[in-house]
Structure 1
Amino acid sequence: MGQRRLLGHSQRCFQWVIRANIYEDSVMLGAVHGLGMLYADQSKLGEAEKMYERALQGKEKALGAEHTSTLDTVGNLGLLYADQGKLGEAEKMYERALQGYEKALGPENVTTYAPALNTNWGLGSVFQSQGHLAKARIMYSKALVGYVKVVGNDHPYCQSLRENLRKISP
């Protein structure tokens, strides 16, 4: 309900953002990313894609390609592409995000970093949709192990991941 009320305002902001040079302002880049999320939540996928791409360009320039904030936008683009049925593009974005998270955080910390766990989950879903069930199991399992550590064994995320694994188990 609250998002619907924001939609008119966000559409005006969208026009302003398109014309603005926002590449040096990390607060503005965060706002652009947030607009992308709002559009995605409202199923306005074309507008969401424009906002995410704009945020990604700016974050790469201002923060660098390996910054976790930049990688969060990469992951959201992966989710958006998956929602649009662009599975090859989604896979590339998810893999880029995972490689970046590992480099930025280290192999130990990435296993409990929620955005990386979400990315594992998303990549598992892409692999499942592509019929690559062995790869999907690996990604779902990584996400499950991490979420058990972060939120506990009985959390709904863990239950959903276990259900996904049951659906694709031989």
Structure 2
Amino acid sequence: LYRQVLHIRDKALGPTHPDTLDSVNKLAGILDLLKKFEEAEEVYERAVETAEKTLGPEHPDTLRSIALLAMVLYHRGEVAKAEKMIRCALEGREKALGPEHPDTLTNSQNLAFVLRELGENEEAEKLYRRIIEHKEKALGLDHEDTLRYVYNLGNVLHDLEKYEEGEKMFRGIVEVLEKTLGPEHPETLTAISNVGSMLQSRGNDAEAEKIYRRLLEASEKTFGPDAIETIRAANAVAVALFFQDKRYGDAEELYRRSLDAREKTLGFGHRSTYTTLCRLGALHEEQGQFLEAEQYYQQAVDRIGTTLGEDHP
């Protein structure tokens, strides 16, 4: 359908008409969604080339096509090239539209996302803080759009090992989401999980255990005992137990529960299943129970060999 519309507009209006360019961008967007990245790149390149000739390099429509092309390059794994192109689009949009325009802020978000992928977290942090400042002014701190960026900043802070600030940030998100969505909503539970992760990264395993137990209880109610979300929560409690006061018995019970549920829901050959086997092996190894540890490790090796092949790294 998009190809047909483009063909009609191309004939009737010409390749440089704004409506034709809009159809080019829409076709490329669909190709991107369908993961036909090579073809999407070619179509966006056509859009950029035409827009630069007819509208000029700093026109908002040209910059839009450049920004979209950059994300296709990112999806193709050309991250460094995508970064340069996003910077180019961002610079142009800041001049043409201003720093607080929604398109400029979207561009800033895309740049922050790509920078995090490249490990340039300090700059990503600055960008997220700037976006949050604008969003907070326009929408308020409790708005879902603002919270999404606060969430992204929290993840960057974790990467930068700024765990204390990250914990406060995620606790703030939990507080808002509990009021707006409810304490057992999936988004609230994800934020609670991140609080636990920050606590664990700070070495506060006892407090992390409390958070993860709360998460486990809510996940059982929301998703059911065998759901993948509940299994992950049980596993998180087990990890917290493993690292504090050598509470191996409690940890083993939860790992076994995770293993049973993962075998039921994901199958014997799933990565999460044999990861749990490895954790059970490590648990017994830590206690000097080497025979039991070997048995779990061997089960994991056998399943990995069956699933991925014996020569897999």
Find the counterpart in structure 2 of residue 10 from structure 1. 41
Which of 41, 54, 63 is 1:29 aligned to? 63
Which blocks of at least 5 consecutive residues in structure 2 are unaligned? 1-31, 205-313
Q: Would you say how many aligned residue pairs link Structure 1 and Structure 2?
A: 165
Counterpart Cα distance in 1 of 2:168 and 2:123:
20
Q: TM-score scaled by structure 2?
A: 0.46
Find the counterpart in structure 1 of residue 273 from structure 2. none
Q: TM-score scaled by structure 1?
A: 0.78
Is the CA contact (8 Å cut-off) linking 1:144 and 1:158 kept in structure 2? Answer: yes
- Give, in angstroms, the shift of residue 6 of structure 1: 3.8
Supply the AA of the counterpart residue of 2:85: M
Say if 1:22 and 1:142 are closer, same or farther in 2 by CA, change over 3 A.
farther
Higher relative contact order at CA 8 Å, sep ≥6: structure 1 or structure 2?
A: 1
Say if 1:81 and 1:147 are closer, same or farther in 2 by CA, change over 3 A.
farther
Is the CA contact (8 Å cut-off) linking 1:78 and 1:91 kept in structure 2? Answer: yes
Which blocks of at least 5 consecutive residues in structure 1 are unaligned? none
Which of 164, 171, 187 is 1:134 aligned to? 164
Which of 115, 121, 126 is 1:87 aligned to? 121
Counterpart Cα distance in 2 of 1:153 and 1:18:
50
Task: Answer with 1 or 2: which has the greater Rg.
Answer: 2
Say if 1:133 and 1:53 are closer, same or farther in 2 by CA, change over 3 A.
same
Is the CA contact (8 Å cut-off) linking 1:112 and 1:147 kept in structure 2? Answer: no
Counterpart Cα distance in 1 of 2:43 and 2:173:
38
Find the counterpart in structure 1 of residue 21 from structure 2. none
Counterpart Cα distance in 1 of 2:186 and 2:73:
26
Counterpart Cα distance in 1 of 2:43 and 2:74:
16
Find the counterpart in structure 1 of residue 153 from structure 2. 123
Aligned-pair Cα RMSD in Å: 2.8
Find the counterpart in structure 1 of residue 209 from structure 2. none
Which residues of 2 match residues 72-111 of structure 1 at below 5 A? 72-103=106-137, 105-106=138-139, 109-111=140-142
Is the CA contact (8 Å cut-off) linking 1:120 and 1:142 kept in structure 2? Answer: no
Say if 1:138 and 1:121 are closer, same or farther in 2 by CA, change over 3 A.
same
Counterpart Cα distance in 2 of 1:149 and 1:11:
46
- Of residues 39-48 and 84-93 in structure 1, the stretch that sits farther from structure 2 once superposed is 39-48
Find the counterpart in structure 2 of residue 38 from structure 1. 72
